[in-house]
A = this chain, B = another copy of it.
Amino acid sequence: MNDIKNYIEENKDRFLNELIDLLKIPSISADSAYAGDVAKTAEAVKVSLEKAGCDTVEICETEGYPIVYGEKIINESLPTILVYGHYDVQPADPLELWTSGPFDPIIKKTDLHPEGAIFARGACDDKGQMYMHVKALEYLTSTNQLPCNVKFMIEGEEEVGSVNLGPFVKNNREKLKNDVILISDTGMISNSQPSITTGLRGLSYVEVEVTGPNRDLHSGLYGGAVANPINVLTKMIASLHDENNHITIPGFYDKVEELSREERDEMAKAPFSLEEYKKALDIDAVYGEEGYTTNERNSIRPTLDVNGIWGGYIGEGAKTVIASKAYAKISMRLVPNQDWKEITDLFVKHFEGIAPAGVTVKVTPHHGGQGYVTPTDNIGYQAASKAYEDTFGVKPIPQRGGGSIPIVALFEEELKSKTILMGFGLDSDAIHSPNEHFGVFNYLKGIETIPLFYKYFTELSK
């Protein structure tokens, strides 16, 4: 595979342009207004997999958006890698904070990306990282170097909880059979220090609705005399953390994996500057659970964050109203051993229980997923580590990630195989934020590294 660098150099512009075309389609799965675009994106992914050399590619319908499945089976006796990714993207709002259109991809230079980065919603999460796998396959098939079998499963509902992927996986265990699952939907420490995510947090995402009076009221006539749903909601949410920022939901921490002092000391060796972290976010202080460091707070500890809140008059000017209803979207990041369904039940019970008289509360679970850990002695991890070392010249560091790919735990349960998270994004890529981008260096480095994983994994499987 010595020719990979040349292959990339020769095809670089085409690789970028193909990705740019894919990024132009606003495949926002959370907003039904974009349903046509999501479907169009599935079709584009299908075509790209066919061109990259898959023997069979099909668009598998689900009750929601379809899953694109493709495969290239060269020899049943060789190992099989299942690549998972997603073609849907997060909503792009607030639009006014984007410096260029979220669906008008453009390459711009930044301090961290002197050779340019592609700015667009989905550039990193996950169209860009998913498409590296398509181009890696193209290289392996067009140069006749594919060392094993490969299957692709690219879904369109990752950003809304992958609700239809579970049934699909359960109903297609044989078709999806594999020796390892490969996903690029995470990040690494920096372009000079690669890392591999070995743990993911689970997730429970709920929406709450507090109802007070049966209609909006004039705050002069009723203010102070009836429960104001917004005031009540703020009190209820505020009470979910105590003065040490511990979560107050009874039973919430019961199954939390407590890491040993040694494990925490090992984690603390990863390069990290609190000053730079604060500077990058323009904050004067970090904030979180007492007794844990920043890197522990966002990886090995469970958290509870409000992701959205609304109620009453939110337009221009002033309106003296007491709203009938107030709402919030709340998510909890969970750590291994916390069961997301159990935590969701605990939340519902607790939140409904703390509602004062004068209001009614409704909690609607949105979606969730279990946390996950990959042991570093797994051959998949070893193969990935060697691949990164070859292309970056530095051994990657294993890291616990704070994010969630809920489907990873399901894969293990249903398909009995481990998932390797080969991420090439950076924390600064602003995924889920305005001005999401993905370094050209990172995109091409991913295309270069992935074929080596195929090679090492096949070798280590012998």
Residues of chain A having any CB pair with chain B under 8 Å: 29-32, 90-91, 93-94, 97, 159-161, 187, 201, 203, 205, 207, 212-228, 230-235, 237-239, 241, 281-289, 294-295, 297-298, 301-323, 326-329, 331, 333, 356-359, 366-367, 401-404, 427, 430-435
The answer on a CB contact under 8 Å between B231 and A306 is yes
Q: Are B427 and A221 touching (Cβ within 8 A)?
A: yes
CA distance A284 to B227 in the complex (A): 10
Copies of the chain in the assembly: 2
Q: Contacts of A213 on B, CB cut-off 8 Å? A: 281-283
Distance between Cα atoms of A91 and B320 in the complex (Å): 10
CA gap between A218 and B429 in the complex, in Å: 10
Query: What separation, in Å, do the CA atoms of A357 and B213 have in the docked complex?
Result: 36
Judging by beta carbons under 8 Å apart, are B288 and A224 in contact? Answer: yes
Please give me the residue from chain B that is nearest to A94 by CB atom: B216
In Å, the complex CA distance between A82 and B309 comes to: 45
CB of A115 to closest CB in B, whole Å: 23
Q: Are A91 and B319 closer than 8 Å at their CB atoms?
A: yes
> Which residues of B are found within 8 Å of A237, using beta-carbon distances?
231, 234-235, 238
Tell whether, in the assembled complex, residue A310 and residue B314 are in contact, meaning their CB atoms are under 8 Å apart. yes
15 contacts between A and B (CB under 8 A): A29-B317, A30-B318, A160-B318, A201-B220, A205-B320, A215-B281, A225-B286, A228-B306, A235-B238, A237-B238, A284-B357, A287-B359, A305-B322, A308-B323, A318-B366
Beyond A220-B404, A305-B231, A358-B283, whether A225 also contacts B314 by CB under 8 A is: no
Q: Which residues of B contact A281 (CB under 8 A)?
A: 212-215, 217, 222, 226
A319-B432 contact given A224-B303, A234-B233, CB 8 Å threshold: yes
CA distance A207 to B231 in the complex (A): 15
Tell me the bound Cα distance from A125 to B211 in angstroms: 25
**Closest CB in chain B relative to A281 CB, distance in Å:** 4
* Residues A401 and B220 in contact, CB atoms below 8 Å apart: yes
Q: Whole-angstrom distance between the alpha carbons of A428 and B329 in the complex?
A: 32
Q: Which listed residue, B234, B289, B403, touches A309 by the CB 8 Å rule?
A: B234
A314-B318 contact given A213-B282, A282-B214, CB 8 Å threshold = no
- Asked if A307 and B312 sit within 8 Å, CB to CB, the answer is yes
Q: Which residues of B contact A231 (CB under 8 A)?
A: 237-238, 241, 305-306
Q: Is the CB of B319 within 8 A of A434?
A: no
A306 touches B432 (CB 8 A): no
How far apart sit A198 and B284, CA to CA, in the bound complex (Å)?
50
In the complex, chain B residues whose CB is within 8 Å of the CB of A218:
403, 431-433
Beyond A214-B281, A215-B433, A433-B215, whether A326 also contacts B312 by CB under 8 A is: no
Is A403's CB under 8 angstroms from B220's CB? yes
Please determine whether B215 and A434 come into contact, CB atoms closer than 8 angstroms: yes
Complex contact B285–A223 (CB within 8 A): no
Question: A216-B433, A220-B333 are contacts. A225–B313 as well, Cβ < 8 Å?
Answer: no
Q: How far is the CA of A331 from the CA of B317 in the complex (A)?
A: 12
In the complex, how many angstroms separate the beta carbon of A127 from the nearest chain B beta carbon? 16
Contact for A432 among B217, B295, B304, B403, CB less than 8 A: B217
